[in-house]
Amino acid sequence: MPKIMVTGANGQLGSELKELAATWPAAEWWFTDLPDLDLTDGRAVLAEMAAFRPDFCVNAAAYTAVDKAETDAANAWRVNVDAVENLARACKQLNSALIHLSTDFVFDGHHFKPYLETDPTHPLGVYGRTKLAGEQAALAHNPATVVVRTAWLYSAHGNNFVKTMLRLARERGHLRVIADQVGTPTYAADLAEALLHLMRQLFAQYEPQSDWKTVTGLEEIYHYSNEGLASWYDFAHGIFELADLNPQLEPIPTSAYPTPARRPAYSVLDKHKIKRTFNLPIRHWRDALRQCVAKLAAEE
């Protein structure tokens, strides 16, 4: 029976993993977040993990305030790098596999086709630089690690673009949305299901009396998002269409909406590696969005 630790349990991905936990009833789950466990406290991390002894640690905790990070770099580094190193070191000592979540912001967006895991990284801001350093820390300190980069995450939980657009559409008759940044919206529920799929396959190879060296698919970086691509304008248009809302929607360039942090103009991720390695099906972003919008409507 696998034992699974999930950090960042109150975030979008952590909340979706909580909902999915019942679909793997043979597993024992531990969901944790602040203030229960401060991941920047290495001694506390090791002590708490030693008491539970997880087979998997899913690190969904992160400093994600992209603009704030530009003037709060020290805290972003503590959460996105130091905390990851603490988890990786503890995982190594306890023979646990680490599933670490990262981001499309490790790229600069100057590409012309979907990014491969092997493409050169060049983050544009503090957030991207700390997330890249976190990837490197995870892999350096625990070989039994999988890094999963994702992008444009949304869900029925927490604050995100989908919920913001739905709220603004009901408050205003006219919305201006950036149309020259292109990526792929990712439903956190789909990402959570993909992580469960991944862990099931890894655990099926694992022999508890040994370590993870004989398990294939570890010490790797993978990309995961829903299929297809969209601009933020396209994304907003899809949200309003599925929610049967009709605000006046104006496409604008990034230059018309300046922010402290620069965003990659193109950050579509190539997902062939994760699909091939784990025989993982991925649905189109509009199909996933339809499910999320329906769930939000049912909760109103």
The Cα–Cα gap between 300 and 292 comes to 13
Task: Kindly give the pairing relationship between strand 182-183 and strand 230-231.
Answer: antiparallel
The residue type found at 250 is E
Verify whether residue 127 is a known catalytic residue: yes
- The widest CA-to-CA distance across the chain, in whole angstroms, is 62
Query: What tokens appear for 299 in the block?
Result: 């909760």
Which helix (H) or strand (E) is 222 found in, with range? strand 220-223
DSSP 81: I
The Cα–Cα gap between 120 and 267 comes to 13
The Cα–Cα gap between 115 and 264 comes to 12
Q: Nearest 5°: phi and psi at 165?
A: -65, -40
The Cα–Cα gap between 131 and 110 comes to 19
The residue annotated as part of the active site, out of 63, 115, 127, 154, is 127
- Residues known to be catalytic: 127
